Amino acid sequence: MADISIIQSHTLTHTKAKDAAQKVADQMAAEYEMNAEWDGDVLKFARSGVSGRLIVSDKDAHVEISLGFFFKAFASTIEQKVAAKMKKVFSATA
């Protein structure tokens, strides 16, 4: 079960939604030193103590993040930052 689960609706085309998901992944990679890889419409990401996936559909993007023991103390801060980034990139005009 994920420690963080965020669903962000969007009105983007599928391609633009995947581009937006990549922007979120790039920002997370830079900030949290994560590796990310696409598997179809699922962007899987991981680093020591953190793993998850961002699933892109035609109507929303759903991120699920599992946190290791150390990161659980920062769950609310991480959730707020990721939610704000998702809202920003998925609210972009198509």
What ranges do the domains of the chain cover? Answer: 4-87
Q: What pLDDT is stored for residue 28 in this prediction?
A: 77
Is residue 12 classed as helix, strand or coil in its secondary structure? coil
The reported pLDDT for the residue numbered 92 is 67
Domain 4-87 fold: TATA-Binding Protein (3.30.310)
Report pLDDT for 94.
Answer: 45
Contacts of 63 (CB under 8 A, 6+ apart): 4, 5, 6, 8, 24, 52, 53, 54, 55, 82, 86
Each residue's pLDDT tens digit in the chain (94 positions)? 789 999 999 999 999 999 988 887 888 788 878 889 999 999 999 999 999 999 999 999 999 999 999 999 999 999 999 899 889 988 865 4
pLDDT at site 41:
96
